[in-house]
Structure 1
Amino acid sequence: MKVLIVLQILTYVSIILVSSVPQDLSNQIRRIITDDGYPFEEYDLKTQDGYFLQIHRIPGGNGEKINQIQGKKPIAYIAHALFQSSINWVCSGRNVSLAYLLADKGFDVWLGNNRGNIFAQKHETYLTTSPRFWNFSWHESGVVDIPETIDFILNQTGKSELFFVGYSESFTELVVMGSLKPEYNGKITLALNMSPAVFMGHVKGPARLFLLILGCFISGILDKVGHFGITVSPLMASISTLILKHRLSRFLFLTYIYSVFGIDYNGTDLEVLRKEIVYLPGGYSTKQLSHYSFGVINPGTFRQYDYGKSENMKIYNSTVPPDYPLEKVTVPIVIFQGLQDFVASPQDVEILVKKLPNVVCRTKFPKFNHLSFTLTREVRTLVYEKIADLFINYGKNKTCN
């Protein structure tokens, strides 16, 4: 009973935080992109289950006129990680941003947002103050948000396929889509994925303990009392900014981050971190974390959501949730992984690569942790330019060389 009361209090606290989300975010991302000299478009997508997702587009490079370039460029769809939103792909600035780099290299860049993040907190029926709004994991994003965003982009542009960039959870969603909706494999020319979070049996550090406690003791209760959202607020952003201003608090903060995600031996770019942290976390449901926790409890498995034996029988006609059939994920996949990654560990990525039938290229970064693909020093040179070159070369000759 005490646990239920605590969780209900947390739910109400999260509601307060959600209601404090800045209301001018659409103007903020528009201002960031246009001030940096790039064309900008914004779209609203209503999913089949009633969520409204904002999609942001950079249809050309710096200084290009929109009416001169639409329909002539290959498409790059960039999806975000669990703690992110579309704004994290541009707030790092002209000299860093992957979105800007791809736009300058000749791509029509689309930035997606999944349900529950700061650009997708509207529903046709539910308010964000309702646990029903937050009753989703990355499964729903994989079977609804990602494929419907792909269809929207292709319909808007008249194209038949696109390039995909995934990071951590968005790769989880990609393989959910590819396994349960295999027709979408043919709509992606090449999928580049950083820190692929699928198998979770070898997660290390505090994240492992947290997910074990969540999966073993808390998830079942949350399924009954209702999951809640965790979203950035002005207060949280101010505290984060203050922490990074002082040497000691910054050191302690980075020490904690490295203990959770692994050490970045290349070094964290503090300027990029300062720009991104004010938009973190980008908004997610506790059910997403719960779903990951089941992979820690059951190493070597990648399954649909576990509601407990009795509910599983009602939903799946089995006491155990079904595995996602990864053999059906035939989209050409490139994997970028960090060997210091505590979340998408090298051991779990090895399992993943053996399960996927079409990994066409794989690059290991010995000094990188889970966050390095957005926060490490010189990330544009070390990572993003490689992504652009891969897309360009693969578009020409279907090879990674």
Structure 2
Amino acid sequence: GDDAASELHPLAALPDLDGARARLRALAAWAYLCACACARFLSPLAWLRWLRSVVVSKPLALLTSFLEGLTELLARHEEGEADLIGGIIRGAGYPYEQVEVTTADGYILTMDRLPNRGSRRVVYMQAGLLDSSVGWLTENCVSSPALAAWDRGYDVWLGNFRGWAGARRHADPAVRDTQWRYWNFSLDDHALHDIPAFMERIHATKCAELREAGALREEELRPGAPRPYTVSVIAHSVGAAATLVYAVHERTHERAVPVDHMVLCAPAGFHMDIPLSIWLISLVFGNYLTAPLVVRHISAVYIPSRVLRLLFRKVVHDLAHELDAVGELLGVVIGNVVFGGDASDWSLAASKRDYLVARMPGISIQLLLQLQQSLRTGRFEMRDYGRAENLARYGSARPFDVGANYAALRGLPVDILAGTRDALTPAAMVRRHYELLLRAGVAASYQELDYGHLEFAIHVRDQFVGSLMAMMDAHAWQERTPD
């Protein structure tokens, strides 16, 4: 049959060549594709393209997207905080205006005012280092010194010293745009330039407003007439030290000081007893060898960019308010390790609203060196520039000794408040001011409160505000009998 025939046919045993060729073509195609893929994968150019994508392109795209989002957030943040102080004051139902002041050496500063235009009672409040006028404000009018003073009829002026990291303003662009030139100031410049500029603006404004309101009598309009209003000063820490330098220096040089009463809360000036951490920093950076280099090349301690300031405030705010345990731990570490056991709420202080993107304060190295000078000498002096420059500035080889000239304050009542849990300006150092004032014949009072350094400015207690108001009222305009 057929099977037998096929077995006998000579070609019947040959393989299927068409199928084999098809399989060979498929195998060759797969081999080609694999070879191309391997060649592409193993090619140096391919590796470079892959690395560029992974290391450069994708991270750059992510960074660009992040920065665009951060820029948008920053814009919204600044828009919301541009009028933060005014928003707090107006939101509490009080009037507000911002006043721009230019100092004699060209710095452009800002004062925040709660105007009481017809009042003859003025209070000027000055915050300390790393603080601003927000320190005198809370939404609660009972525990806010500024709002409480306005309620009692005072025209309230809140001063802000030079040294805002994000708002370097100066009449000379060369100073404004050069870091070391802008930050080349000390406590003396706050005292002899900033405060006088504030006082001059207050005086000009009050005289003009009282005149326009018809509140001045004829004899008060005559040249040389007594000032038609009273001024109380409430100052904290470095702000209090600057106030003392201002008043003593001006009166010693027989210039009028338009101040009727001072309340000094934890005043700086004497720093023989300071936390170990600050002593070590001053030892490293404040000696005669390193100080000139530090002043020239560092000039100030602050967060340099708006983005970093925003991130700093966001992180600290979240730690203090969202993660209570972490925030409390942060405050304990700062207070006990960094600041030698000060009892203030440091985590809350760092998240305060005056640490704005544009207005976050910085610290001038010159000012720190002046505070370190007190540690070295044990005296409350103006800046020591060396013998030659001291002779030119002060007329003596030694700098002007503020504490030794407290007799210039006779006739100017001074109330001093110290905190028994304050490790930055300990009560013993604050008491030194009081003892020298008494010895000089100045009408001074002294009181110790169970406060840390910052409790005069944050977490202010209602009783403390009431005491401040009573101190001011004792020396306010209605206590005087005009001639």
**Could you state the TM-score of these two structures normalised by the residue count of structure 1?**
0.81
Structure 1 runs not aligned, ≥5 long:
1-19, 61-69
User: Could you report, residue by residue, the CA deviation over 1:48-91 in whole angstroms, capped at 9, with x for unpaired residues?
Assistant: 1111111111124xxxxxxxxx2224111111111111123225
- Higher relative contact order, chain-length normalized (CA < 8 Å, sep 6+): 1
Partner of 2:448: 364
Deviations 1:231-252 (A, max 9, x none): 5821221121122132342132
3-state secondary structure, aligned to 2:180 = coil
1:79 aligns with 2:126: yes
Matched-pair contact (CA < 8 Å) for 2:247–2:409: yes
The answer for the alignment partner of 1:203 in structure 2 is 274
Q: Which residue of 2 aligns with 1:3?
A: none
Kindly indicate whether the alpha-carbon contact (under 8 Å) linking 1:30 and 1:40 is maintained by their aligned counterparts in 2: yes
| 2:234 counterpart (158, 165, 171) | 165
Letter of the 2:324 partner, please give it: R
The CA deviation string for residues 97-149 of structure 1, in whole angstroms up to 9 with x for no partner, is 21111111211111111111369630011225421011001101101111220
Contact 1:128–1:134 under 8 Å retained in 2: no
**Residue 57 (str. 1) matches residue 145 (str. 2):** no
Deviations 1:140-171 (A, max 9, x none): 11011112201210210124431111000111
CA–CA separation in structure 2 for the residues paired with 1:167 and 1:41: 23
Determine if contact 2:142/2:462 at 8 Å carries over to the other structure.
Answer: no
Higher deviation after alignment, 102-111 or 347-356? 347-356
3-state secondary structure, aligned to 1:328: helix
Residues 226-245 of structure 1 aligned to structure 2 (within 5 Å) = 227-228=299-300, 230=302, 233-244=309-320, 245=322
Given the superposition, is the C-alpha separation of residues 393 and 342 from structure 1 closer, same or farther in structure 2, using an over 3 Å criterion?
same
In the TM superposition, residue 201 of structure 1 has moved relative to its aligned partner by 0.8
Aligned to 1:352: 433
- Among 90, 93, 97, the alignment partner of 2:144 is 97
Q: Say whether 1:134 aligns with 2:183.
A: yes
The corresponding residue for 2:367 is 288
Match of 2:91 among 5, 12, 35: 35
Letter in 2 for 1:284: I
For these two proteins, the number of residue pairs brought into alignment is: 365
Supply the AA of the counterpart residue of 1:384: V
| Structure 1 residues 120 and 326, CA gap change in structure 2 (3 angstroms) | farther
Contact conserved, 1:75 with 1:163, CA < 8 A, in 2? yes
1:272, CA displacement in angstroms?
A: 7.7
Where 1:323 maps in the other structure, the secondary structure is coil
**Structure 2: distance between partners of 1:147 and 1:343:** 27
Q: Is the 8 A contact 1:57 1:111 kept in 2?
A: yes
Identity %: 23
**Residue of structure 2 in register with 1:149 after alignment:** 198
Q: Which runs of 5+ in 2 are unaligned?
A: 1-73, 208-227
CA distance, structure 2, for counterparts of residue 397 and residue 93 of structure 1: 28
Match of 2:473 in 1: 392
Q: Aligned equivalents of 2:156 and 2:328: distance in 1? A: 36
- Partner Cα separation in structure 2 for residue 136 and residue 83 of structure 1: 15
Q: 1:272 to 1:208 in 2, by over 3 A?
A: closer
The question of whether the paired residues in 2 share the 8 Å contact of 1:261 and 1:371 is answered with: no
Bigger Rg over Cα: 2
Confirm or deny: 8 A CA contact 1:220 1:308 kept in the other structure.
no
Deviation at 1:212, TM superposition (A): 3.2
What's the CA shift for 1:208? 2.9
CA distance in 2, matches of 1:333, 1:116: 27
Contact 1:116 1:229 (8 Å CA) reproduced: no
User: Is residue 58–residue 103 contact of structure 1 (8 Å, CA) maintained in 2?
Assistant: yes
2:400 and 2:349 mapped to 1: Cα distance?
A: 40
Q: Distance in 2 between matches of 1:215 and 1:92?
A: 40
Structure 1 letter corresponding to 2:471? L
- Deviations along 1:291-344, whole A, 9 cap, x unmatched? 111111222x12222334565566556654332333323331101110122121
Structure 1 215/319 Cα, relative in aligned 2: closer, same or farther at 3 Å? Answer: farther
- What letter is aligned with 1:257? I
The alignment's TM-score, normalised by the length of structure 2, stands at 0.68
Q: 1:342 to 1:364 in 2, by over 3 A?
A: same
CA contact (8 A) 2:102 2:108 kept: yes
- CA-atom RMSD in angstroms: 3.0
Check whether the contact 1:238–1:278 (CA below 8 A) recurs between aligned residues: no
